[in-house]
Amino acid sequence: MEKKLLEQRLKKIFEYAKDVDALLIMQGDENSVDKTFFYITDPDGGIFESSALIVKPDNVKILTSQLEEEIAKRTGMDVIVTKGMADLKKQIVENLKGLNTIGLNYTSLTLEQYRDLLRIVPDKEFVNISSSIEESRRLKDTEELNRIREAAKIASEAIQNVIPRIKEGMTETELASEMVYQMMRLGASEPSFSTIVAFGKNASMPHYSPGNAKLKRGDFVLIDYGARYKRYCSDVTRTMVFGKATEEQKDVYNTVLAAQKAGFSKIKENVNGKDVDLAARTVIDESKYKGRFIHSLGHGVGMDVHDHPAFSPNFDIPIKENMVVTVEPGIYIPDFGGVRIEDDVIVKKDGCEIISTAPRDLIEL
């Protein structure tokens, strides 16, 4: 990471966490990953299990094992190589000497890690700086925006490569695997999340997991997917009809599309998130599908695919320039199917930049 960019990120964090001497970012195993570790260090690889960061306004120390030594040193930051958990804890004690108030990211800290810290450094005052980290990561810098744009570009191109490969009799899992293959072929490191593919009536379940259902004529084809590029995510959904759409399928689709356009038109800096949600929700609730939009309109996107809240009836906070958010209205009808159209957008002062560019009009395959 460029020195200037690191300084900007540290400045943002410490503006929100003014009353701490340093931050201690703990990295556990795969079940307790703190993305803030990578937000601050931006290594070009590595897993960094059982590692830690000691972060001051003008300095970052990476405490990690020999497994990650080479990658850690390529960041240009100070690196302390540890030999097992006992040595990691010893180095934490040594490097926190003389410091009193330590900021911890409680949302990513396990109870076991917290109890260990109380035992090995009982003289420190720990402060929860989770909200400070969330605020600093909510607004994306230029490098983050470029990576998310690329992740969205990969996703947008991948779906267009997949569409010609959709054929009668293929299973949902076959189509999901094709989606992942195309994203990685175009430069993604991995999918942002487990790809959702739902055929026919299965599309009525927003969080459906693909199975062995086979595609047949007249089915909805809902694909919810995303690409991860240099640790940053995209999140896109497209719904199609395999064969000629019925009038009811067209009506559902066009209602969702109109709702999404209403959401887009409301987005700009300082608009309240719940008002954006309301603009889209009103379109659906004024149609015969009232009550069939059963989730919030969108969420933040960044290093996490659900990076922060964004558009919801309960989100009472103004959105800001350079937030990246999804706009994803949907209509879900049990025993019939469902439609969701989702795109990633960057909030601008006077509007939004739609960065996922796959076609939005109804496609009949």
Among 116, 139, 151, 191, which residue's Cα sits nearest to residue 11? 139
Strand pairing class (125-128; 101-104): parallel
Mean pLDDT confidence for 231-248: 98
Domain boundaries, the chain: 3-136, 142-354
Residue 116 pLDDT > 90, yes or no?
yes
- Residue 364 DSSP label: B
Output the pLDDT for position 350: 96
Beta carbons within 8 Å of 208's beta carbon, 6+ residues apart: 196, 198, 202
Q: Is 330 helix (H, G, I), strand (E, B) or coil?
A: strand
Following DSSP, what letter does each residue of 239-285 receive, concatenated?
A: EEESSSPPHHHHHHHHHHHHHHHHHHHH-STT-BHHHHHHHHHHHHH
Output the pLDDT for position 329: 98
pLDDT by residue (tens digit) across 242-290? Answer: 999 999 999 999 999 999 999 999 999 999 999 999 999 999 999 999 9
Mean pLDDT confidence for 205-221: 97
pLDDT by residue (tens digit) across 40-54? Answer: 999 999 999 999 999
Among 147, 136, 133, 148, which residue's Cα sits nearest to residue 8? 136
Nearest-angstrom CA–CA distance, 352 and 152: 15
pLDDT by residue (tens digit) across 161-186? Answer: 999 999 999 999 999 999 999 999 99
Nearest-angstrom CA–CA distance, 224 and 236: 6
Percent of the chain scoring above 90 in pLDDT: 92
Buried b or exposed e, range 148-157, using 16+ CB within 10 angstroms: bbbbbbbbbb
Output the pLDDT for position 141: 96
Output the pLDDT for position 18: 82
Beta carbons of 284 and 252 less than 8 angstroms apart: no
Output the pLDDT for position 87: 96
Q: Tell the residue number behind the tokens 């759409």, with chain if given.
A: 245
Residue 78 pLDDT > 90, yes or no?
yes
Nearest-angstrom CA–CA distance, 337 and 196: 14
Output the pLDDT for position 200: 98
Output the pLDDT for position 3: 86
Beta carbons within 8 Å of 162's beta carbon, 6+ residues apart: 175, 178, 179, 182, 223
Name the token pair of 340: 């969701």
Q: Which CATH architecture has domain 3-136?
A: 3-Layer(aba) Sandwich (3.40)
Following DSSP, what letter does each residue of 44-69 receive, concatenated?
A: SS---TTEEEEEETTEEEEEEEGGGH
Q: Report the sign of the C-alpha dihedral through residues 24, 28, 31, 34, in that order.
A: positive
Residue 79 pLDDT grade (very low, low, confident, very high; cuts 50, 70, 90) = very high
- Strand locations in the chain (E): 22-27, 51-56, 59-65, 78-82, 101-104, 125-128, 190-191, 196-199, 220-225, 227-229, 232-233, 236-241, 298-299, 309-311, 324-327, 330-333, 337-340, 343-348, 351-354
Residue 210 pLDDT > 90, yes or no?
yes
Strand partners, 64: 81
Residue 32 pLDDT grade (very low, low, confident, very high; cuts 50, 70, 90) = confident
* Multiple choice CATH, 142-354, 3.90.230.10, 1.10.3720.10, 1.10.472.10, 3.40.120.10: 3.90.230.10
Residue 37: count of CB within 10 angstroms of its CB: 22
Nearest-angstrom CA–CA distance, 334 and 343: 24
Mean pLDDT confidence for 311-336: 95
pTM listed for this prediction: 0.95
Beta carbons of 105 and 127 less than 8 angstroms apart: no
Nearest-angstrom CA–CA distance, 166 and 217: 12
